[in-house]
């Protein structure tokens, strides 16, 4: 079902994010994790890793980069010494806000090409594909 335009949009999306977030190094998975941590902090690291769409090893490396970059603090979980609790720093909070703004700008750019009816139709079609794929993997649909 993917066509050349899906790939081209991904290419431009990556370029858009790199142009706006490259200076802070958070245009890929680290940005995803930072936003997730910022929305739920403090949070156990294994919860963030388990919910992510990336492989666990990628998640661990991305979170380590966030910690080393001063975006996130990793503290040992007092209830389970094998785990970490993640919290966003002020720098991380500012970066997460910037990421949110860039995501909003990207969505606005895309949606500006469609009228209201087309936007609603796209949402319904995307939902239909999502529910089909979720069903394929035998997961219950809650939406």
Q: What is the CATH number of the domain that holds 105?
A: 1.10.10.10
- Whole-prediction pTM: 0.80
Question: Which segments in the chain show pLDDT lower than 50?
Answer: 143
pLDDT at residue 2, as a whole number: 61
Q: Identify whether residues 59 and 21 lie together within a single domain.
A: yes
Residues 13 and 79 in one domain: yes
Selection from 73, 27, 79, 34 nearest residue 52 by Cα: 34
Residue 43's SS3 state is strand
Q: Same structural domain for residues 95 and 123?
A: no
Give the per-residue pLDDT at 51. Answer: 83
Per-residue model confidence (pLDDT) at position 28 = 78
Collapsing DSSP to helix, strand or coil, 17 comes out as helix
71 and 44: one domain? yes
Which domain, by its residues, includes 94? 4-112
| 143 CB-near residues (< 8 Å, 6+ apart) | 127, 131
Is 80 found in the same domain as 24?
Answer: yes
Are 124 and 54 contained in the same domain? no
The 3-state DSSP class for residue 44 equals strand
Residue whose structure tokens are 């930072």: 34
Cα gap 141→131, rounded to integer Å = 7
């Amino acid at each position: 079902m993917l066509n050349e335009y899906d790939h081209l949009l991904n290419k431009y999306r990556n370029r858009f994010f790199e142009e706006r977030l490259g200076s802070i190094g958070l245009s890929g998975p680290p940005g995803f994790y930072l936003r997730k941590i910022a929305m739920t902090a403090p949070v156990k690291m294994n919860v963030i890793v388990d919910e992510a769409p990336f492989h666990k090893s990628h998640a661990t490396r991305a979170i380590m980069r966030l910690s080393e970059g001063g975006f996130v603090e990793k503290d040992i979980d007092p209830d389970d010494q094998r785990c970490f609790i993640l919290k966003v720093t002020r720098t991380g909070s500012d970066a997460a806000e910037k990421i949110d703004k860039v995501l909003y700008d990207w969505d606005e750019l895309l949606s500006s090409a469609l009228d209201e009816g087309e936007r609603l139709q796209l949402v319904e079609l995307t939902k239909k594909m999502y529910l089909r794929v979720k069903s394929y993997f035998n997961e219950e649909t809650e939406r």
